[in-house]
A and B are shown apart, each in its own frame.
Chain A
Amino acid sequence: MLKQCEGSHAVAEAVALCRPEVICAYPISPQTHIVEGLGEMCKSGELADCEFINVESEFAAMSVAIGSSAAGARTYTATASQGLLYMVEAVYNASGLGLPIVMTVANRAIGAPINIWNDHSDSLSQRDCGWIQLFAETNQEALDLHIQAFKLAEELSLPIMVCMDGFILTHAYERVDMPTQEQVDAFLPPYEPRQVLDPAEPVSIGAMVGPEAFMEVRYLAHAKQMQALERIPQMAEEFQKVFGRKIGGLTHTYCGEDAETMVVAMGSVLGTIKDVVDEMRSAGHKVGVLGITSFRPFPLDAVREALKGCKRFVILEKSLAVGIGGIVATNVRLAVTGLGLQGYTVVAGLGGRAITKKSLHALFIRAGRGELGPLTFLDLDWEVINRQLERERLTRRSGPAAESMLRDLGTVASKIA
Chain B
Amino acid sequence: MSLQPVKFYQTGTFTVGNRLLAPEERSVQANMQRTNSLNSGHRACQGCGEALGARYAIDAAMNASNRQLIAANATGCLEVFSTPYPETSWQIPWIHSLFGNTAAVATGIAAAIKIKKQKGQGGDVRVVAQGGDGGTTDIGFGCLSGMFERNDDVLYICYDNGGYMNTGVQRSSATPPAARTATTMPLGPEPGNQFGQGKFLPAIAMAHEIPYVATATVADLRDLEYKVTHAMSIRGARYIHILVPCPLGWGTASHDTIRMARLAKETGIFPVFEAEYGVVKSALAIRRPLPVEEYLRPQKRYAHLFGKSPAVETIARIQALADKNIRKYGLQARKGA
Residues of B close to A66: CB separation below 8 A: 97, 101, 105, 108
Binary per-residue interface labels of chain A (160-172) against chain B in the complex, 1 for a CB within 8 Å, 0 otherwise: 0000000000000
Partner of B143, one of A56, A199, A203, A205: A56
Taking the closest CB of chain A, its distance from the CB of B131, in whole angstroms, is 13
Complexed CA–CA distance, A75 and B110 (Å): 13
Segment 20-70 of A: residues with Cβ below 8 Å from B: 21-22, 24, 49-51, 53-57, 59-60, 62-70
Complexed CA–CA distance, A192 and B304 (Å): 59
Instruction: Tell me if B95 counts as interface (CB < 8 A to partner A).
Output: yes
Instruction: Tell me if A197 counts as interface (CB < 8 A to partner B).
Output: yes
Given A21-B115, A59-B143, decide whether A202 and B109 contact each other with a Cβ distance below 8 A.
no
Residues of A close to B150: CB separation below 8 A: 53-54
User: Which of B63-71, B173-181, B199-207, B256-264 forms contacts with chain A?
Assistant: B63-71
Q: Which among B97, B108, B122 has the highest number of chain A CB atoms within 10 Å? A: B108
- A residues with a Cβ closer than 8 A to B are 21-22, 24, 49-51, 53-57, 59-60, 62-73, 75, 89-90, 93, 97, 197-199, 201-210, 213
Q: Contact: A50 with B115, CB < 8 Å?
A: yes
Q: What are 15 sample pairs from A and B whose C-beta atoms fall under 8 A apart?
A: A21-B116, A49-B115, A55-B104, A55-B107, A60-B101, A63-B143, A70-B109, A73-B112, A73-B115, A73-B116, A93-B97, A199-B70, A201-B93, A205-B95, A210-B84
Complexed CA–CA distance, A89 and B150 (Å): 23
Complexed CA–CA distance, A21 and B116 (Å): 8
Complexed CA–CA distance, A198 and B69 (Å): 8
Residues of A close to B329: CB separation below 8 A: none
Binary per-residue interface labels of chain B (66-84) against chain A in the complex, 1 for a CB within 8 Å, 0 otherwise: 0111101000000110011
Given A68-B109, A207-B84, decide whether A199 and B142 contact each other with a Cβ distance below 8 A.
no
Instruction: Tell me if B25 counts as interface (CB < 8 A to partner A).
Output: no
Taking the closest CB of chain B, its distance from the CB of A72, in whole angstroms, is 6
Q: Contact: B93 with A206, CB < 8 Å?
A: no
Residues of A close to B68: CB separation below 8 A: 199
Complexed CA–CA distance, A166 and B67 (Å): 47
A sample of 7 more A-B contacts (CB under 8 A), given A71-B70, A203-B94, is A22-B108, A24-B108, A55-B104, A60-B143, A63-B101, A71-B113, A198-B93
Taking the closest CB of chain B, its distance from the CB of A42, in whole angstroms, is 11
Instruction: Tell me if B9 counts as interface (CB < 8 A to partner A).
Output: no
Interface residue tally for chain B (C-beta within 8 Å) = 45
Given A49-B119, A59-B101, decide whether A199 and B112 contact each other with a Cβ distance below 8 A.
no
Q: Contact: B111 with A93, CB < 8 Å?
A: no
The chain A residue sitting closest to B70, CB to CB, is A197
Instruction: Tell me if B125 counts as interface (CB < 8 A to partner A).
Output: yes
A-B interface, 5 closest residue pairs, ranked by CB to CB distance from nearest:
A67-B108, A63-B101, A56-B146, A71-B112, A63-B104
Residues of A close to B13: CB separation below 8 A: none
Q: Contact: B146 with A57, CB < 8 Å?
A: yes
The chain B residue sitting closest to A217, CB to CB, is B85
Count A-B pairs with CB separation below 8 Å. 160
Complexed CA–CA distance, A69 and B118 (Å): 17
Instruction: Tell me if B88 counts as interface (CB < 8 A to partner A).
Output: yes
Q: Contact: B95 with A67, CB < 8 Å?
A: yes
Complexed CA–CA distance, A263 and B159 (Å): 58
Q: Contact: A70 with B95, CB < 8 Å?
A: yes
Residues of A close to B226: CB separation below 8 A: none
Q: Contact: A204 with B70, CB < 8 Å?
A: no
Instruction: Tell me if B106 counts as interface (CB < 8 A to partner A).
Output: yes
Taking the closest CB of chain A, its distance from the CB of B101, in whole angstroms, is 3
Given A21-B112, A67-B108, A199-B92, decide whether A204 and B146 contact each other with a Cβ distance below 8 A.
no
Taking the closest CB of chain A, its distance from the CB of B156, in whole angstroms, is 13
Residues of B close to A57: CB separation below 8 A: 142-143, 146
Given A73-B116, A199-B67, A199-B125, decide whether A64 and B94 contact each other with a Cβ distance below 8 A.
no
Given A51-B111, A72-B112, A202-B93, decide whether A56 and B69 contact each other with a Cβ distance below 8 A.
no
Q: Contact: A202 with B104, CB < 8 Å?
A: no
The chain A residue sitting closest to B101, CB to CB, is A63
Residues of A close to B118: CB separation below 8 A: 49
Given A55-B104, A66-B108, decide whether A89 and B83 contact each other with a Cβ distance below 8 A.
no
Taking the closest CB of chain B, its distance from the CB of A60, in whole angstroms, is 4
Q: Contact: A206 with B97, CB < 8 Å?
A: yes
Residues of A close to B109: CB separation below 8 A: 67-68, 70-71, 197
Residues of B close to A213: CB separation below 8 A: 85
Given A75-B108, A89-B98, decide whether A202 and B92 contact each other with a Cβ distance below 8 A.
yes
